[in-house]
Amino acid sequence: MSIFDILGPIMVGPSSSHTAGAVKIGLIASRMLSVTPQNAKIFFHGSFAATGQGHGTDRAIVAGLLGMTPDDMLIPKSFEIAKKKGMEFEISEINIKDAHPNTVLLQLTADEGKELEIQASSIGGGRILINKLDGIDVNFTGDSPTLIVHNIDQPGHVAEVTSTLSHKAVNIATMQLYRDKRGGYAVMVIETDQPVPQESIKWLEHLEGIIKVTYVNVEGETYEL
Amino acid sequence: MSYSALKEIEEVCETEKIEFWEAVLLDDIDSRKVSKEDSINTMQSLWEAMQLAGDNYDKNEKSASGLVGGDGGRMESYYKENDTFCGSFISMVIAQALQMGESNACMKRIVAAPTAGACGVLPAVLLPLFREKGIANERIIESLYVTAGIGEVIAKRAFIAGAAGGCQAEVGTASAMASGALVHIKGGNAYQISNAVAMTLKNLLGLVCDPVAGLVEVPCIKRNVIGAMNALSCADMALAGITSKIPADQVIDAMRAVGERMDVSLRETSLGGLAATPYAKEITKRLAKQK
């Protein structure tokens, strides 16, 4: 968290948690999918479900999925823009156990069988936390460049990833490992101090036992007037 | 930011012989690995965005719900034509707080400080000081660092979202930030800043988040006014040498404890407080029909 998470962001109103944070969640989700989704199933939980419409949370999530940032003046018009761009979306309510009041679950699909399920919370002042990825518990903010590697839970993958990063002089800020069961489906979430080069991501994708690699680098808001 | 207590900032100021705002600036440079110039430029662009948001107010605009709009204009013409109880400066502050809150409700571009719902508090005191009282740009930038340091400590020890801790966490925090800025602008020290923070937060302790129909409109916009007025009075008290018996960090912790005990119906869910009044329910029903 930096002082510019407290002062700022420069954003379209009316709510930093319900509007700006929601745009950010949508944006990170679409960056992780790497394309604009063709279909989005949006499930609102808690306060997002109770008061989301009045705050434009619905339009904000869709705006983010379309690639807009929280200061985009077109956020109020995102439904119309989605229609023009051919992105279908469906909004409903859900009750997720033990989730933060401002939580949304997104199920996204795009061309070439691209799929992503992501659960994230807007925790105030426009800051967000991604707490579930394809059904596995995670915990990251998307504030730093973040590399997410999905792999089979077997020896060697962590070493492959860290040595690839070290080779490119990318410093690891934080690293988290998750799995559904021993020998099952594993996810590593690595936040870095430098951006991860595209070629490293391509290299990792081709390694045996690595199922999927996603990378998000949503730079901190650039304050342009 | 590495500070998790205002006391820590006070101590750094004392040992390093620096001012509150410098302690926050130096920490930003260190934690984000940016140059002093970069940090100040970012702050300057936020300040310019705040001024622009003030200029972009349109008194003829109404929010999508039709519930709010125009009050900032009404207050402005009133103080220009009448002898107000509050006097011209405070009246300007009131008008500015209303205007920024209304712009936010109309989905215009604003600067969250610390949140969008409380975005009117800080500009309400800073814009009239800058435009009418001739406070230098540089001084305002310094005071913005003060506000950021205060907000960050509150976010770390407690919360700044209404959904998490009620309006005391949103307008309360904004008010604390603004009072610190005001103390700095008048030359107050870190100890006085902490005392202003403690007093502002104490005054708004327990304030619930109960937006009618779930909109950041009623009562949010007018609560920006109380946030700004509270900041002014507490800054003046701190500058007069009045102290808070309870230290600022302990007040922040109390705010957290109160927020945690606050029923979920009073934390931005629109199930309690003003949002649960018959009139509010009627409005909610009417708006649902318009969907």
Q: Which domain CATH number covers A105?
A: 3.30.1330.90
Same domain? A88 vs A3: yes
Q: Cβ of B155 and A125 within 8 Å?
A: yes
Chain A hits for B217, CB-CB cut-off 8 Å, are: 14
Count of residues making up chain A = 225
Q: Are residues A179 and A113 in the same domain?
A: no
CATH of the domain at A181: 3.30.70.260
| C-beta atoms of B148 and A7 within 8 A | yes
How many domains are contained in chain A? 2
Whether residue A213 sits in one domain with residue A156: yes
Give pLDDT tens digits for B153-181: 999 999 998 988 999 999 999 999 999 99
Is residue A225 assigned to a domain?
no
Q: Which residue has the tokens 């008010």?
A: B175
Q: A 29-48 residues with CB below 8 A of B?
A: 46-47
Using the 3D structure, point to which of A133, A167, A194 is the last residue of a domain. Answer: A133
Residue A1 has its nearest CB partner, among B145, B155, B214, at B155
Q: Which of residues 111-170 of A touch B (CB under 8 A)?
A: 123-126
Two structure tokens written together for B143 = 């005071």
Is residue A153 located within the same domain as residue A119?
Answer: no
> In this structure, is residue A138 part of a structural domain?
no
The answer to whether B7 and B249 are in contact (CB under 8 A) is yes
Q: How far apart are CA A40 and CA A62, in angstroms?
A: 9
- Indicate if A163 and A204 belong to the same structural domain: yes
Instruction: Tell whether A14 and A122 lie within a shared domain.
Output: yes
A120 in the same domain as A12:
yes
Convert the pLDDT of each residue in B33-61 to its tens digit. 999 999 999 999 999 999 999 999 999 99
C-alpha angle with apex B262: B256 to B267, nearest 5 degrees?
Answer: 95
Average pLDDT in the B208-231 region? 96
In chain A, whose CA is at the least distance from the CA of B146? A3
Same domain, A85 and A158: no
How high is the ipTM of this complex?
0.92
Nearest residue in B to A76, CA atom: B107
Q: Do you know the residue count of chain B?
A: 291
| A19 and A112 in a common domain | yes
Residue A207 is part of which domain span?
Answer: 144-219
Between A50 and B96, where is the model more confident?
B96
Last residue of a domain, one of A133, A158, A174: A133
Same domain, A155 and A128: no
Query: Chain A contacts of B177, Cβ < 8 Å?
Result: 6
Hey, CA dihedral for B119, B253, B212, A96, is it positive or negative?
positive
Q: What Rg do the C-alpha atoms of chain A give, in angstroms?
A: 17
**Which residue in chain A is spatially nearest to B52 when comparing CA positions?**
A225
Q: Is A139 contained in some domain? A: no
Compare CB distances from A126 to B43, B107, B112 and report the shortest one's residue. B112
In a domain, A42, yes or no: yes
- Quote the pLDDT of residue B291: 56
Looking at residue A225, what is its pLDDT? 29
Helix (H, G, I), strand (E, B) or coil at A45: strand
Q: Is residue A12 part of a domain?
A: yes
Q: Do A55 and B42 touch (CB under 8 A)?
A: no
Q: Are residues A127 and A164 in the same domain?
A: no
Chain B residue closest in CA terms to A51: B214
Select from A103, A133, A163 the last residue of a domain: A133
User: What distance in Å separates residue A22's CA from the closest CA in chain B?
Assistant: 13
Cα separation of A79 and A58, whole Å? 9
- pLDDT tens string, chain A, 225 residues long: the values are 789 989 988 999 998 888 999 999 999 999 888 889 999 999 999 878 877 777 889 999 999 999 999 999 899 899 999 999 999 999 999 999 999 989 999 999 998 888 999 999 998 778 899 999 998 899 999 888 999 999 999 999 999 999 999 999 999 999 999 999 999 999 999 999 999 999 999 999 999 999 999 898 876 433 332
Q: In this structure, are A177 and A95 located in the same domain? A: no
The token duo for A106 is 């997104």
Q: What is the pTM of this model?
A: 0.84
Per-residue pLDDT at A16: 82
Contact A51, A153 (CB under 8 A): no
